[in-house]
Structure 1
Amino acid sequence: MKILVVGTGVIGCIYGWQLSEAGHEVTHFVRKGKKLEIDKDGIIIHCLDARKQNRPIIETLYRPNTVEQIGNNGYDLIIVPTKANQLNSILPILAKTEKYTNILFLQNLWITHIRQIESAFQDSRIIYGQAHIAGGGKSGNKITCVIFGTKNSPTMLGKKDGTVSESVIQVEKVMRQANLNPQICKNIFAWLISHYAEANGLVAGVMEARTAQNYISNKEYIKHSIRLIREGFKVCTLLGIHAWKIYPQALYYVPTWCLIPALLKMYRTEETQLMIQGHIKHSPDEMKEMFYDVFETGKNLGLSMKNYKQMQKYIDTFVL
């Protein structure tokens, strides 16, 4: 398959690298002035691959094909793994591509972002997804990342209306060829919105703690995250999304005393620590915007957002 990946961020490079390894023709769309640099130096990928039994650390130099203009080049699939706050600049560019090319938005998305996407494209072109299988950070031309190896860490895929279209089936096949654990979700809209609230509660707790290591050293930070996640789920409920019906988000309704040990066990693993710390270093602006997306939506819907108000000072003063 001929695939265009927008950008060379963490998720874009992980997926571009893995899809290339699986034999697909992958090109990355980069900002003006970046092509020469990437073509010359490549991108160093330092990856803990937890899909394999011995969990190897892979160090490789990824040399992707790059373009600074998209044009009509007959791509079968365009993958958009950028931060959601970059949609304003990306959507007008993507609007110029062939109308038959499917676009996979592989991002953390809130309801406002989905409305923005739907105002730009026909629904037939749009596939939504989330790279739950991977994460990490980037410094210069080096990416430090993890690819998780459990069934509970998939590449989520789906159409907003729940249909399993031929385009979704084709993308699922491509992701499976690259061993990226695809999972077709017939309720992808609800999954994405509730996941956004969940992920926001986690990263806000880490921002309060200042580091991933501090976060797992004090149960109070975990408690604060749980409260934020549950308050975010109340926002979801008012949006018509019931998190208690969605896995794994439903697990946050387990009693707190039982939930904390399970979360600590998960957060203390090497791969989760790597992902969280990398995300903090790479995307603090995105994390702050995620916090305020949920916070402002909740207030507009009439909720007091007590826990968000208590957390606000830590978000506003967070620095690396």
Structure 2
Amino acid sequence: MKILMFGRGVMATQYGWALEKAGNEVEFYVRPGRSAQYGPYVDLDLLDGRKHKKGLPIRERWFIKMREEIRQDHDYDLIFVSVNHQQFDDAAKMISQRAGNATILIFNNVWDNQETVAAQLPKEQILWGFLGGGGGFRSKNKLEAGFMKSIYLESADAAASVKRHQDVMNLFQNAGFSVSLQKDMYVWYLQHFIMNAGMAAQALKEGSYQNLYKSPKYVKQAVLLMREMLPLIRAKGHKASLGTNLMLHLPAGLVSYGIYKIITGETLAGAIMERMENTAYIPQEAFAFFPRDVLADARRLKIDLPRLTALEKYFSQKD
């Protein structure tokens, strides 16, 4: 398959590497001037979760192909989109003008409904999903990151095209990933966004994610924030999954201790979070978008979120 990764970000780079290693042709779209700025290779320091639960260490200099324009008559089979939350609108606008016949695979955080988020894109070419990975660039071409074995993808029944869905399933399975199918991908997005918002708001209060993870009592405050936000899912016309309801209605101390052990223990998830924090690749302002968007929607829907409101000064838009 011929694949265009939109941007040379953390997720595009590490998953692009994995997909190329599986025999696919991978190229990166970057803004004009960025090819020279980045240079022709990326020094990879990855934890590959496909064959080892703690991540198989990968250290490799990977030479990549970059393109500073997307031709109207391109022959890409798939355009891979995983950008920072606030960058998605600009990415969608550009892709909409050059989609061709490619499948547009959106691996992004989503809060507004999917029709609104992707209004500029050809609906029949879109597939929705999410990835399990993260990290950061230590320098312009040194990536310290990691990824899980599983990716998340909407079910074939929900997909706009069964054939495109099957092609993407085959793509990732042939590359050694497992695919977790979601009957309602939008509910999955909402739940994930709420969890990000709770953790981000509390981390901003504590000064960093590393400070947040110093004690389960700090994580507990994040869990209480998540629990407070759950009614927003119903207010937006949807129903949280049974698993999410159970997790967030168990004693908060128990849930927070479980999260604390996963993130701070010798786990792949913990190692990925550590790499995200240590590289400081994503600035605090990017994390602030999560609680900011949730609180704005809560006010629109007249849902009271006193815990989140009390932390607003830590994530409000700076003048």
Runs of 4+ residues over 6 Å off in structure 1:
none
**What's the secondary structure of 1:111's corresponding residue?**
coil
**What's the secondary structure of 2:50's corresponding residue?**
coil
Report the equivalent of 2:89: 88
Q: Relative to 1, partners in 2 of residues 1:51 and 1:122: Cα closer, same or farther, differing over 3 Å?
A: closer
Distance in 2 separating the partners of 1:70 and 1:232: 40
Note if 1:7 corresponds to 2:7: yes
Report the equivalent of 1:147: 147
Report the equivalent of 1:229: 226
Structure 2 counterparts to residues 1-320 of structure 1, below 5 A: 1-40=1-40, 42-53=41-52, 55-71=55-71, 72-111=73-112, 114-131=114-131, 133-139=132-138, 140-149=140-149, 154-158=150-154, 162-163=158-159, 165-245=162-242, 247=243, 250-270=246-266, 271-280=268-277, 281-283=280-282, 284-316=284-316
1:76 deviates by: 0.6
* Residue ranges of structure 2 left out of the alignment (5+ in a row): none
* Residue ranges of structure 1 left out of the alignment (5+ in a row): none
Q: Relative to 1, partners in 2 of residues 1:249 and 1:96: Cα closer, same or farther, differing over 3 Å?
A: farther
Q: What is the alpha-carbon root mean square deviation over aligned residues?
A: 2.4
1:317 deviates by: 10
Identity across matched positions, percent: 22
Q: Is the 8 A contact 1:10 1:136 kept in 2?
A: yes
Distance in 1 separating the partners of 2:302 and 2:194: 17
Q: Relative to 1, partners in 2 of residues 1:192 and 1:228: Cα closer, same or farther, differing over 3 Å?
A: same
Q: Is the 8 A contact 2:45 2:143 kept in 1?
A: yes
**What's the secondary structure of 2:118's corresponding residue?**
helix
Q: Is the 8 A contact 1:128 1:160 kept in 2?
A: no
Q: Relative to 1, partners in 2 of residues 1:302 and 1:276: Cα closer, same or farther, differing over 3 Å?
A: same
What's the CA shift string for 1:261-298, capped at 9, x where partnerless?
21121111343334334445222232111111111101
Q: Is the 8 A contact 1:207 1:314 kept in 2?
A: yes
Q: Is the 8 A contact 1:137 1:275 kept in 2?
A: no
Q: Is the 8 A contact 2:44 2:60 kept in 1?
A: yes
Q: Relative to 1, partners in 2 of residues 1:160 and 1:93: Cα closer, same or farther, differing over 3 Å?
A: farther
Give the paired residue count: 310
Give the TM-score, by structure 1 length. 0.88
Distance in 2 separating the partners of 1:248 and 1:2: 37
Q: Relative to 1, partners in 2 of residues 1:248 and 1:60: Cα closer, same or farther, differing over 3 Å?
A: farther
1:30 deviates by: 0.4
